[in-house]
Amino acid sequence: MNVFIVYAHPSEDSFTRHVKESFIRGLEDAGHSYLISDLYQMNFKTDMSEAEYLRESNYRDDLPVPMDVKLEQVKINGCDAIVFVYPVFWTEAPAKLVGWFDRVWTYGFAYGNNRTMKQLAKGLVLCVAGNTLEKLIEMGHYESMKTVMLGDRLSDRVTSKEMIVLERMSKEYAEEREGNWDKHLETAYQAAYSL
């Protein structure tokens, strides 16, 4: 299986980076191929230009799409599965990843009557949260996170989709973080290995 990883974390000194690396090891051990867009390392431009906004708001698939966006779209159509790895910021993905969706999910590609984005076999969200999953569920945040990522962004663009929350990894809770470290990396590895 060919897997496209979209990774968004502003720091190399993060647990999320270790999650990405463990996931990649799982892919390699299972014999999957992969490519990655590390949005911060690429300095991916996430602010939509006026021309992009006018193209999208007027549903004009005859207007040009910027080259950096086209390259991401080529990566998507060249894969069988798409995986997002990121930390949870205020119940949402980092702004860098949100902006990636704003720009890459263009009219005529990800939506519209003549959509050119292929339907992917699998979609996976691996997100790192400071809170416990129990607390995220209790507050209603987990359902919101799933609605946005799985229900809206992935929607019918992906046949099989899943969200895995790697919980309680805030540095504020050092003891729990340490106890969860290896367990969460194994979860990421197994998620990749079993794709």
Angle at 45 between CA 161 and CA 128, to 5 degrees: 40
User: Which run of H or E residues covers position 195?
Assistant: none
- State the average pLDDT over residues 42-68: 97
Q: What is the mean pLDDT of the chain?
A: 96
Per residue in 1-47, pLDDT tens? 999 999 999 999 999 999 999 999 999 999 999 999 999 999 999 99
Q: Helices 67-77 and 95-104 meet at what angle, rounded to 10?
A: 90
Tell whether the model's pLDDT for residue 116 goes beyond 90.
yes
Residue 125 and residue 31: Cα distance in Å, rounded?
A: 20
Residue 113: predicted pLDDT: 87
Residue 49: predicted pLDDT: 97
Residue 173: predicted pLDDT: 83
- State the average pLDDT over residues 74-87: 98
pLDDT bucket at 174, cuts 50 / 70 / 90:
confident
Per residue in 98-114, pLDDT tens? 999 999 999 999 999 89
The share of the chain scoring above pLDDT 70, in percent, equals 100
Cα Rg of the chain (Å, integer): 17
Backbone φ and ψ of 36, nearest 5°: -135, 140
